[in-house]
Structure 1
Amino acid sequence: MGDDALTALLRPLWLIDIFHSVWEAGGAWGVKGHEDSCAIMHHMVRGSCVITFEDDSEPVDLYEGDLAIFPHGTAHSFSAGRGAHTTPLSALVPNVSPGESGLVRVGTPPYGTRMLCASLRYSPLTEPGLYGELPRIIVLRRSMLEGEPLLMSTLGALPSEIGRTAPGARLVALRAFETVFVLSLRVALEQLTEQSPALRVLRHQGISKALMAIHGSYAEPWTVETLARKAGMSRSAFSHQFKDLVGETPMRHLTARRLQEAKRLLSDTPMAQHEIAQRVGYRSQVGFHQAFRKEFDTTPGTFRSEREVERVDESP
């Protein structure tokens, strides 16, 4: 089941470029990252660090050999310890271009901490689909990685591979990092479901099938009954299990997915509203209009107009 869910997670994504770097740190160091539209990876080659987010959530400790994946590029800081002063990432690696590689030093020598970092940029033309269900951070401990020979060997080869200038080196590095990313998600689906509600949902044989249907075919006229059949469960068992794992009813989740896509189409395309309504699964424009207003407290037309104004203001 893990492989099926993993395929559904990654099918809409296409890795198009990457920025990777080796970090060396010493003393009382800290780096404040920013929200980014990519997946981020930190591999602790030597030493340790602390990951913190902008909310009040518990910090995450990374130790030598650990691997942290941020599927959505969620803003976070990494530092020598809790409460450390942080330097903005943009001040340390300004004006970087995809495909570039580099060595970044932060703090003061001796540089006892060494970390391999990467930003994996996916095509903006693809839809997030089931991928959006992943948690903001996935941590694979060294003990987990040691049981994955292909993942370990690829990770071990990355530092030397990214420094090469041989023909095709950039493409090889791109695919090597993508291999690490895919294998890491597979390990997470196999071993971390008890620690993460989001991963537990994706691992559940029946509920994950229903989620794949909702995210991949949201325009279909799904009902609780047809989704339950898709999941291979009775209606009552499916409804109870879905709400328990996902946190909302199947139809509420379907509505949110449809309106999420409608919002994207209103923002990024000139498609007429009645066409958008049909594209996301509404039989009438009135029903679409009412659902959109209830969800976002604004009408589709007003939302589109406001986005057009924002784009004009953002243009040089």
Structure 2
Amino acid sequence: MDVVSDAIAAVRIGQPSSNRVRVNGSWCARFAPYDGAGFHVVLEGSCWLLPDGGGAPVSLGAGDAVLLPHGTGHVIADSPADAATVARAVPFELRPDGMLPGSAAAVSGRVEMLCGKYRLDRSRVHPLMLELPKVVHLPNRVGSYPELRAAITLLGGELSEQRPGACIAVPSLLDLLLVYMIRSWMAEGSGGAWSAVLGDPVAAAALRALHSDPAAPWTNDRLAAAAGVSRPTLARRFTALVGRPPMAYLTWWRLTYAATLLRDTPDPLAAIARRVGYGTPYAFSHAFSREFGTTPGRYRAGAAEAS
């Protein structure tokens, strides 16, 4: 696993969901704050996204994608923000068929979108995910984000008609869409500190080693050798970019990965302890309780109830 894949896998829970929406005329819909991430893709026409909390309205055109990684409440409307627009917003959930109210306007004013959301476990979020802004706007530009465009096309096709295997294809495409939106944001060069981390050959090499085999008996010397630098160079570069020393990051990641295994697998405690580099279940339980404030068993039970 690489860092971006692990960062997403650590928070993704349950199944994503989406709707294909067609509207026209004067309309607006409210999306309440959500303990997860939401997204919209404009397939036809144009509209506006009005984020809660005073954020600037975002103009969306055909082919644009927008991700709300922190579940920010917002309104999608045919026009920019004003008090009247926000006041007349209809809760999206009141339209289970995915259709929003619209006047009998000409078809030329029609807007078609994909709207969806992902469930996320925010108890242990990787700092890469925390860096995402509350609105990630990926405008449609010729030649940009080819993988994202391909995923959008495939997803739109699956949602437009019932096809054999759609129950597997749609969730898989939605997972791909999330990866491609985050990847595209990072490629824009506005990805914050973690774009710099993953672009640094020393820090990136060390992170690849730790994430590919977190159970290995890592030491600073062994990790420095894997990164091809001296121990002092590794410590200086890694700590400056990541924000914590290599072995502190390793401990944090081992326990974060263990929490994912407790949540997503039925594996016994001893097996999970071995997979994350602890010699005994007792040593693992002690470290986990110190980090999470609860035992692995109680954490697993709580995760099962939440799902």
- Using the size of structure 1 for normalisation, the TM-score is 0.65
Which of the numbers 195, 199, 209 marks the counterpart of 1:199?
Answer: 195
Which of the numbers 58, 61, 72 marks the counterpart of 2:58?
Answer: 61
Q: CA deviation at 1:105?
A: 1.0
Q: How does 1:81-160 map to 2 (within 5 A)?
A: 81=81, 84-85=86-87, 88-93=91-96, 103-106=98-101, 113-119=111-117, 135=132, 138-143=136-141, 146-148=143-145, 151-152=148-149, 155=152, 159=156
Q: Deviations over 1:48-104 (max 9, x none)?
A: 333536xx695572421421235xx642223143773565543333xxxxxxxx642
C-alpha distance in structure 2 between counterparts of 1:77 and 1:59, whole Å: 13
C-alpha distance in structure 2 between counterparts of 1:120 and 1:74, whole Å: 10
C-alpha distance in structure 1 between counterparts of 2:32 and 2:136, whole Å: 19
Conserved? CA contact 1:154–1:180, under 8 Å: yes
Local SS of the residue matching 1:241:
helix
Q: How does 1:169-188 map to 2 (within 5 A)?
A: 183-188=180-185
Give the letter for the 1:229 counterpart. A
Conserved? CA contact 1:135–1:198, under 8 Å: no
Local SS of the residue matching 1:225:
helix
Q: CA deviation at 1:115?
A: 2.5
Q: Deviations over 1:111-160 (max 9, x none)?
A: 765422244789x9xxx9999688376432223x5435565466457545
C-alpha distance in structure 2 between counterparts of 1:185 and 1:203, whole Å: 15
Superposition RMSD in Å? 4.7
Question: Partner residue of 1:281?
Answer: 277
Give the letter for the 2:228 counterpart. G
Question: Partner residue of 2:40?
Answer: 42
The reply to whether residue 232 of structure 1 matches residue 231 of structure 2 is: no
Question: Partner residue of 2:292?
Answer: 296
Question: Partner residue of 1:223?
Answer: 219
Q: Tell me: CA distance 1:294–1:87, structure 2 relative to 1, closer, same or farther (3 Å).
A: farther
Give the letter for the 1:67 counterpart. A
Local SS of the residue matching 1:19:
strand
Which of the numbers 251, 259, 264 marks the counterpart of 1:263?
Answer: 259
Q: CA deviation at 1:248?
A: 2.2
Q: Deviations over 1:224-254 (max 9, x none)?
A: 2322333333333332332333222222221
Q: CA deviation at 1:305?
A: 4.0
C-alpha distance in structure 2 between counterparts of 1:269 and 1:166, whole Å: 30
Q: Tell me: CA distance 1:258–1:148, structure 2 relative to 1, closer, same or farther (3 Å).
A: closer
Q: CA deviation at 1:279?
A: 3.2
Q: Deviations over 1:158-190 (max 9, x none)?
A: 54553234556666666666665555454334x
Q: Tell me: CA distance 1:239–1:120, structure 2 relative to 1, closer, same or farther (3 Å).
A: same
Which of the numbers 235, 243, 247 marks the counterpart of 2:243?
Answer: 247
Identity of aligned residues (%): 24
Q: CA deviation at 1:217?
A: 1.8
Structure 1 gaps, min length 5: 94-101
Q: CA deviation at 1:42?
A: 1.4
Structure 2 gaps, min length 5: none
Q: Tell me: CA distance 1:224–1:50, structure 2 relative to 1, closer, same or farther (3 Å).
A: farther
Q: CA deviation at 1:269?
A: 6.1
Question: Structure 1 residues 275-284 or 106-115, which shifts more?
Answer: 106-115
Question: Partner residue of 1:32?
Answer: 32
C-alpha distance in structure 1 between counterparts of 2:285 and 2:171, whole Å: 43
Give the letter for the 1:228 counterpart. A
Q: Tell me: CA distance 1:265–1:57, structure 2 relative to 1, closer, same or farther (3 Å).
A: farther
Conserved? CA contact 2:29–2:100, under 8 Å: no
- Using the size of structure 2 for normalisation, the TM-score is 0.67
